[in-house]
Amino acid sequence: MQERKKRGTEYREDLYIRKLIILTFLTLLFVLSVFISALGRQHDPSTGDYTGTSDNGSPETTAVWVTTAGEGAEDLPGTTGVLETTEPPGPGGSPETTDTPGTTSHNAETSDTPDTSPDTPETTNPDVPVPTRDYIPKTTEETKLINKSRLNAGNAILVDLESNTVLASYHADYKIYPASMTKIMTLIVAAEMIDDLNATFTITQSIIDHALREGASRAKFEAGETVTILDLMYGAALPSGADSTSALAIYVAGSEAEFAKLMNKKAEELGLTSTRFANASGLHHPDHYSTVREIAAIMAYAMDNPLVAQLLSTKSYTTSKTPQHPNGIALSNTGFSSINNYSKSDTTFGRVTVTAVKTGYTGEAGNCLATYGVAEQGKRYILITALGTSRKGSIDDCTYVYGNYT
């Protein structure tokens, strides 16, 4: 009897030891798995955060656009956006179709796309100015919410440049696709990077093919045509030529992709956190976006640059004579042309006279318009609208907003 009890006790002790060993082994496996997982995560020293990658190599979590629940809520003082994944704005549609002499020559390589060597020409300026003030307009207790029933655009902001405050807005911080308003930043970067406006660039067939393939607006330079940098800048500003922006991008940075990095760097210097550029023309790309508030900041900065201000204020321009165009190319500013076509009071809206303008359009962006205006007493304003349903509607918005909120 005692022998049986002894065996039972030994059996239970043995079973207990086995369970303890198994539990210890499982605990070690758990600790090891946590350690291996930590090794697989990357540490971001700038934020202190860790990020992993998904099966396809992309981040497990990506930034999503922030919108607010109530219409126009973010435009009122004391309100903030909440994180929420949303579908891209706009009805969707086709890519952009409307916005309807030197010594050094730089030839781009011919390829399927207008990208070439990343080498930067020696004529670019390494001493690019850094913004010395805050250009992002501030919402105040006096900011008014624009009456949406009277507004054609889906997004709008009116800025008093003297105080850098928002006079009136609607969905000022919602994501937009800026279309050819992008070219305001393109002109800024080109103006700051290029010292010699009389230097030349030879247009390639790949640049023409790229613009034609995308259905983009063009200044209509021809392949093999040697064009001055100044003419390219007017080609980008007035008829909103994608051929001109591609040429400028290649001249400055070697490719449009590298030039977009310079645009993003400038956006970062301006403190813009909701703006990203993927190209120099504004053709639709899901990672090419902004807000009307931040486009207003870009426009304000542009108007402080004498060359860019001159480009955006010019109504017409004739390019230099070339063998391909013996009389030059007559360029017209699509923005001023739209105002002339649809405004009943020329360039004056209420008390404000518009003196600089940039249009934009893609199916996803809708009709966009950036204007700079001056009142009789010298006060300066910027109005940015996006996601409009027609070009006439954009001009009507100028009449309504300038006329009722300045």
pTM of the predicted protein model: 0.72
**Alpha carbon separation from 261 to 131, 255, 282, 288 (Å, rounded):** 17, 10, 14, 12
pLDDT at position 67: 36
Percentage of the chain lying above the pLDDT 90 cut: 66
Task: Please state which of the ranges 67-81, 260-274, 314-328 shows the lowest mean pLDDT.
Answer: 67-81
As a whole number of angstroms, the distance between CA 383 and CA 395 comes to: 11
Indicate the Cα dihedral angle 361, 362, 365, 367, nearest 10°. Answer: 30
Pairing of strands 380-388, 155-160: antiparallel
Provide Rg for the chain, Cα atoms.
28
Q: What is the mean pLDDT of the chain?
A: 82
- In tens, the pLDDT along 214-226 reads 999 999 999 999 9
Burial 202-220 (b: 16+ CB within 10 A, else e): bbbebbbbbbeebebbbbb
pLDDT in tens, 375-393: 988 999 999 999 999 999 9
Check residues 245 and 19 and name the one with the higher pLDDT: 245
pLDDT band per the 50, 70, 90 thresholds, residue 102: very low
3-state SS of 53-110 is: ECCCCCECCCCCCEECCCCCHHHCCCCCCEECCCCCCCCCCCCCCCCCCCCCEEECCC
Residue 31 confidence (pLDDT): 72
Local confidence band at 88 (pLDDT 50, 70, 90 cut-offs): very low
How much is the average pLDDT of 93-103?
39
pLDDT, position 52:
40
What does the pLDDT look like over 175-213, one tens digit per residue? 999 999 999 999 999 999 999 999 999 999 999 999 999
Domains parsed from the chain with CATH numbers: 97-405 (3.40.710.10)
Backbone angles phi, psi at 228, to 5 degrees: -75, 155
Q: Are strands 352-362 and 348-349 parallel, antiparallel or unpaired?
A: antiparallel
Give the model's pLDDT for residue 73: 45
- The burial of 227, by beta-carbon neighbours within 10 Å (0-12 exposed, 13-18 middle, 19 or more buried), is given as buried
Q: What is the pLDDT of residues 127-183, one digit of tens each?
A: 677 777 899 999 999 999 999 999 999 999 999 999 999 999 999 999 999 999 999
Query: Which residues is 189 bridged to in the sheet?
Result: none
How far apart are alpha carbons 194 and 279 in whole angstroms?
18
